[in-house]
Amino acid sequence: MTGSDNTPHHPSPHHAPGPPTLSDTGELPAVELPDPATRPPPCEPPYLEAHGLTATGPAGPVYRDVDLTAARGELVALVGDSGSGKTSLLLTLAGRFRHRRGHVSVGGDRRPEAIRRKVAVAAAAPAVTLDPHHTVGELITETILTGCPATRDNLRRVWELLGVDAHTGTRCGDLAPVDRTLLALAFAAAARTPVIAVDDVDAGLGGVAAARVWAALRLLADQDHVVIATAVRPDLTPDVVVRLHPATGGLPRPHGVQAHTVVTRVVGREPP
Amino acid sequence: MTALRLALLELRRFRGRPLRCVVLGLVVAVPILVGGLALWSQWDPYGSTERIPVALVDRDTGAVVEGRHIDAGAELAGQLQAGDAFDWHPVTETEAIRGVTEGDYAFAVVVPADFSRALAGSERPHVTVRRDDSNGYLSGVIADTAALDLRQQIDTAVYVTAAKAAVGDLTRLDTGVEQAAHAAGDLTDDARNTADQADRLHTGLTDLELAAQRLSEDVADLRGDIRPAESTLAGRWPAIQSDSRAAAELTDGFAGRLSDIHGLLCDGDTGDACRDLDAAVADARAIDDGVTTLDEDIQSLSPGGGGVTDGRIDDLVAESQRLTGDTAAARTGAERLAEATDDFASESGGLADTLTGTARSLPAMDPARNAAIADLLGSPVDVRNVNAHPADVYGRGMAPLWFGIALWLFATAGYLVLRSCNPRALAGRTRTATIALAGWLPSLPLAVAAVAILYAAAGLGLGLDAVDPVATVAVALSGAAVFTAVGQLLRLVWGGMGGVAMLVLLTVQVPASGGAYPIQTSPAFFQALHPLMPMTYLVDALRITVTGGEPRRLWQAVLVLAVFGVAALLASTLVTAYRRRWTVARLHPVTLP
């Protein structure tokens, strides 16, 4: 089991160096405490907690023993190659996946139905996608029908906040990938759930477009959401990074190779 | 409401790109492509057997029976070709074998060389039917179905040949008997005329008797008042005399005529009819004699002329009384005569009928008549079929099954194209039952279009002529709705493999529905499945709406069908609830490319 502790983190060059925060279990980290001035500990209890999450598929474990905490206002990145179990873990945290062991608690509730009410899934291919044959207008209708209380007013607000650029007559499949992702985020945010989950935020995006999406995610987190996003590369600065290893691409793992997860809490970021 | 709007959104996915509309159109066209084409191709196969080419080989060399040559083979060949059971080709045996092998003929009927000889020798002659099931098994089955007819034709030929062998030239006999029948018919007419005349005679005599009675009374009155009476009688006498003369002539002519008939018919014959006729002639003679005597009396009497004495009057009274008695006797005789000639007429009418019947039952040159007789001789018991709700043609009888298959394939194709549920709704907050319903509703407008096209094609194009068109469409529509609910459920459970499951279910359901062969002929496996399959009830219901039947059975079938539909929707709801959480298998489904 590798994911339960806060392992020492080596921040990227563009982050201010800082010590790791308190671990989610409340234990003291093995390394030196950070300077409280640079990174105050979260003043709120974690909104989203996961303990010992393990899921298995026909080819063995998909992810193993994931422990994770996130407070409102935090951005969680689930990072790994394609086939490493990111989508499964994302859906598990959203109360939409049958895992084998461990539990997820969102807002203090462990029941999947209750979790689902608190988490909106923007995209999680192939489970949840925006149909490319629908127009944006039709997708708005669909969002209002399926995402109560996603009203047009709510939608307009996040639409402006995220700077979505899409005309209602355009077919979703004709939108630029970045616009499609932003649209999905806007739809999810319109439901005003405390948690927003989005899969593969950087898929098919170049650096600039990916940066736009990460910026949008941060914006949403700053709106007091817990934002969980999966990505191949965590280009920017999430608060929590969960690295999933190794990718199997759906194939059985070689004998002796175990799935494992590394959870890192990023330090040195300004609190929201 | 949410379900309806989601269903509408599902259908709107197919707008825009022409190819996607075409796909939806193809789904709607599945029933007519499957059911319509199948029904069209086999609408009336048993009514078109005259287009099936069949080889006919007559190798019969004939036989000689009691000096007469008979050829039963030729008779049979003629008999078969006269009928239109098949498209007969008289060919050589080599050609027939080649044709059957190469598929030019569906089968061949071979009459062997010793066919007539076997018949003459009182053996059981045989006819060979050469089949090759590589020409299509069902053409052989049709041959079997037509074998009854074939057997009848063979029976006819054998019967005609045997009759020819026994009686020789049947044509002449036939003609002779027909003439005799005609003669008997003429005789009957004569006898009827005679009977009419006897009736008239009887009436005349009755009048005469009354006149004689009045005469006798008048004569008796003479005793009191002779003069006026004398003059009255004298005044009336000529009339009485002429009446009497006429009666005498009538009876004379009648007796002569009857005697002529007797002479013509009963020359040395002692049949019942002739004996009756004999008696009638004797009666007529007796009447004639009586009436003639009476007439002579009347003619000789002459009340006029004066000098009438009491004694003469007494004589006259006695004479007139005798006259009355004689006339009464003659009238009774005439009455008997009328009855006798009437009897004769009806008997000779019977004779004429018998002769006509005999003439008809004799083998003749007309094959159709011979076939009817052979049928009568070969099958003395006639089975009468009473069909409360006849389907008439094969296609009309099979339509319920083909409708079922077509609508099942429609449901299968429908959920290859439609999504079983809206994935965003599944991941979102829509209620589970609403999601299941919203997944089913988009198939309904497609079902309406598909059923309308299928029914229009079958009704207008093929002449389905359903007993109750409205109920047929309604039942087909409910069938389609139930089948799509099942299709949606299987798609929900197995994803892309749901279509495969639908096809497997179809192959099991078709034999289990009892739509083609009676379910009792199927193995126990299908009999056990029979009541568990929705198609069983659709076929049952459609049979009643198409060819008619007990409405109670229709309602039962529709009710069970509805239960299947509701059960499928409930199951879909449960599955949808389960599927609100994904699994690895669903994120990475194992499907064939």
> Residues A272, A203, A112, CA angle at the centre, nearest 5°?
60
Kindly state whether B517 is in contact with chain A, defined as any CB-CB distance less than 8 angstroms.
Answer: no
B429/A95 touch (CB, cutoff 8 Å), yes or no: no
Taking CA atoms, what residue in B is nearest to A62? B584
A200's CB contacts (< 8 A; 6+ apart) are: A86, A87, A123, A125, A230, A231, A232
- Residue B135 predicted with pLDDT over 50: yes
Q: Look at the block and give the residue holding tokens 């996003």.
A: A229
CB A179 within 8 A of CB A132: no
Band the pLDDT of A135: cuts 50, 70, 90. very high
Given a cut of 50, whether residue A34 has pLDDT beyond it is no
Q: H or E stretch including B465?
A: none
3-state secondary structure of B555: helix
* pLDDT more than 70, % of chain B: 81
Range scoring the smallest mean pLDDT among A44-48, B194-198, B367-371, B403-407:
B367-371
Domain extents in chain B: 2-43+393-587, 48-166, 172-377
Q: Is A259 helix (H, G, I), strand (E, B) or coil?
A: coil
B488 touches chain A (CB under 8 A): no
Of residues B156 and B387, which shows the higher confidence score? B387
Residue A3 has pLDDT above 70, yes or no: no
- Which two tokens mark B463? 């002449």
Annotate B429-464 with DSSP letters as a single string: TS-HHHHHHHHHTTHHHHHHHHHHHHHHIIIIII--
Position B170 scores a pLDDT of: 56
By Cβ distance, the residue of A88, A145, A171 closest to B16 is A171
Select the residue from A129, A140, A146 to test the B interface by mutation, using most B Cβ atoms within 10 A: A146
Residue A15 — pLDDT band, cuts 50, 70, 90?
Answer: very low
Torsion of CA B504, B506, B508, B509, to 10 degrees: 150
Domains with residue ranges and CATH for chain A = 69-265 (3.40.50.300)
The CA-to-CA distance between both ends of chain A, in Å, stands at: 31
Q: Which of A84-93, B74-83, B233-242, B458-467 has the lowest mean pLDDT?
A: B233-242
* Residue contact B584–A87, C-beta within 8 A: no
- What's the first-to-final CA gap in chain B, in angstroms? 37
What is the DSSP code (8-state) at residue A48? E
Across B38-50, average pLDDT: 85
Strands B128-131 and A240-245: unpaired
Provide the 8-state DSSP code for B111: E
Query: Which has the closest alpha carbon to A191: A252, A119, A135, A270?
Result: A119
For the stretch A71-91, pLDDT in tens is 999 999 999 888 888 899 999
Instruction: Please report, rounded to a whole number, the percentage of residues in chain B having pLDDT higher than 90.
Output: 33
Taking only residues 18 to 77 of chain B, the set having a beta carbon closer than 8 angstroms to any beta carbon of chain A reads 20
Instruction: Encode pLDDT of B202-235 as tens digits.
Output: 777 777 777 767 767 766 665 565 555 556 666 7
Of all residues in chain B, the one with the smallest CA distance to A119 is B428
The answer to whether the CB atoms of B581 and A95 lie below 8 A apart is: yes
Q: Do A138 and B12 lie within an 8 Å CB cutoff?
A: yes
pLDDT band at A47 (very low <50, low <70, confident <90, very high): very high
Query: What whole-number distance in Å separates Cα of residue B444 and Cα of residue B480?
Result: 8
Residues of A with Cβ-Cβ distance to B581 under 8 angstroms: 91, 95-98, 112
pLDDT in tens, A206-239: 889 999 999 999 999 999 999 999 998 876 678 8
Instruction: Please give the single-letter amino acid code of residue B109.
Output: V
- The confidence score (pLDDT) of residue B402 equals 95
Contact A146 B6 (CB under 8 A): yes
For A145, the closest of B6, B16, B590 (CB atoms) is B6
Average pLDDT over residues A5-19: 42
Residue-wise pLDDT for B283-326, tens only, equals: 777 777 777 777 777 777 665 544 445 555 666 667 667 767 77
What is the model's pLDDT at position A20? 44
State ipTM: 0.80
Scanning every residue of chain B, which has its alpha carbon at the shortest distance from the alpha carbon of A88? B584
Nearest to A145 among B2, B16, B580 (CB): B2
Res A1 pLDDT > 50: no
Q: What is the pLDDT of residue B270?
A: 57
CB contact (8 A) between residue A128 and residue B2: no
Q: Cα distance from B402 to chain A (closest Cα, Å)?
A: 35
The predicted pLDDT at position B420 comes to 93
Question: Is residue B329's pLDDT more than 50?
Answer: yes
> How far does the CA of residue B103 sit from the closest CA of chain A (Å)?
53
Q: Nearest C-alpha of chain A: how many angstroms from B590? A: 10
State which CATH number among 1.10.1740, 2.60.120, 3.40.1710, 3.40.50 fits the domain covering B48-166. Answer: 3.40.1710
- A157 CA to chain B: closest CA distance, Å? 20
Do A153 and A186 touch, CB atoms closer than 8 A?
no
List CB contacts (< 8 A) between B428 and chain A. Answer: 120, 146-148, 191
Q: Please report the pLDDT score of residue B260 as a whole number.
A: 76
Least confident of A123-137, B142-156, B573-587: B142-156
Query: Confidence class of residue A169 from pLDDT cuts 50, 70 and 90?
Result: very high
pLDDT in tens, B514-528: 888 888 889 999 999
Nearest chain A CA: its distance from B440 CA (Å): 17
Say whether B422 and A55 touch across the interface (CB within 8 A).
no
The 3-state DSSP class for residue A191 equals coil
Give the least confident one: B147-156, B442-451, B530-539. Answer: B147-156
Euclidean distance between CA atoms B294 and B121, whole angstroms? 73
For the cut 50, the answer to whether the pLDDT of residue A33 exceeds it is no
**What pLDDT was estimated at residue A17?**
43
> Choosing among B10, B420, B429, which should be mutated to test the A contact, i.e. which has the most A CBs within 10 A?
B429
pLDDT value of residue B438: 96
Q: Which alpha helices (DSSP H) does B32-130 contain, by range?
A: 37-41, 72-82, 93-102, 115-120
Q: What is the mean pLDDT of residues B559-564?
A: 97
pLDDT of residue A94: 95
The mean-pLDDT minimum among A147-151, B354-358, B550-554 falls in: B354-358
Give the DSSP per-residue string, B186-205: HHHHHHHHHHHHHHHHHHHH
**Residue-level pLDDT at A16:** 42
The distance of B394 to chain A (nearest Cα, Å) reads 46
Would the pLDDT of B413 be above 80? yes
Query: How far apart are the CA of B18 and the nearest CA of chain A, in angstroms?
Result: 12
Cα–Cα dist B240/B242, whole Å = 5
